[in-house]
Structure 1
Amino acid sequence: MVKKTGRPGYLQIADELREQIRSGSIAPGEPLPSTAQLAETFGASLSVVKMSVGLLRNEGLVVGQQGKGVFVREDAPPADDVRAELTALRAAVADLTSRLERLERGASPRSAKS
């Protein structure tokens, strides 16, 4: 069920489906429930569900087959790979943030007058 948390419903649904895929509740090669079934399950409109599935498609977790449905990719990255990648991305962002702060301090008007 989509909750009124301020977080868009399509992101909440995508998070839930992503977790089901990562945990193996929906295994590689298996179809996602239909758009209508997902809309009923989450209490959301069809367009919100379609946005959620589109997000998972863009992430490479699912693929659509015309007239057949949307399926979990056989070669979807395992959860451990995703966690490691996320950790690496967080470290890179922290490093870039630190470097940017140093650059901004060096370019501040006060340091130019010194």
Structure 2
Amino acid sequence: MVEKSGRPGYLQIADDLRAQIRTGSLSPGAALPSTAQLCQRYDVSASVVKAAISVLRTENLIIGQQGKGVFVREDAAAALTAEEPASSEVMDQLAQMRSTLAVLGDRIADLEKAVFPEPKRSR
């Protein structure tokens, strides 16, 4: 289950799956559980699971095969040991940027409400 820690759910799922790959729970060539199974396991929507899968695909840890599923790459363990710290740092920075953008979006909405008040509606 995804924790309400402030870290986006898709990153928590990607971290968990990455750890499973690192420890060998998900070995090279192994199929990842289906999207539906991951949704149920982590109690999230399909879009959150797909975002996590996308992160791992970008990190070259998994590969999708149309109509067959998503599988751990044969060289995933080597990729983890070589690039893990840098990609984790980048993902943390992206999460911080998303958070900052959300705050800025709220501030802009507040400013727009102050500058452009809603017109009075006639009955």
Normalising to structure 1: TM-score of the pair?
0.70
> For 1:18 and 1:71, how far apart are their aligned partners in 2?
12
- 2:70 maps to which residue? 70
> For 1:59 and 1:81, how far apart are their aligned partners in 2?
11
> For 1:3 and 1:38, how far apart are their aligned partners in 2?
15
Structure 1 residue 77: deviation in Å?
3.7
Aligned ranges 1:37-52 → 2 under 5 Å: 37-52=37-52
> For 2:81 and 2:23, how far apart are their aligned partners in 1?
11
> For 2:13 and 2:76, how far apart are their aligned partners in 1?
19
- 1:29 maps to which residue? 29
Structure 1 residue 81: deviation in Å?
3.3
Cα deviations across residues 17-57 of structure 1 (Å, max 9, x unaligned)? 00000110000000000000000000010000000001100
> For 1:40 and 1:65, how far apart are their aligned partners in 2?
22
- 1:112 maps to which residue? none
- Decide whether the 8 Å contact of 2:32 with 2:69 is kept in 1: yes
Letter in 1 for 2:82: D
- 2:82 maps to which residue? 81
Alignment root-mean-square deviation, CA:
1.7
- Decide whether the 8 Å contact of 2:13 with 2:42 is kept in 1: yes
> For 1:19 and 1:82, how far apart are their aligned partners in 2?
14
Letter in 2 for 1:8: P
Alignment: residue pair count: 86
Letter in 2 for 1:7: R
* Percent pairwise identity: 59
Normalising to structure 2: TM-score of the pair?
0.65
- 1:106 maps to which residue? none
- 1:13 maps to which residue? 13
Structure 1 residue 75: deviation in Å?
1.4
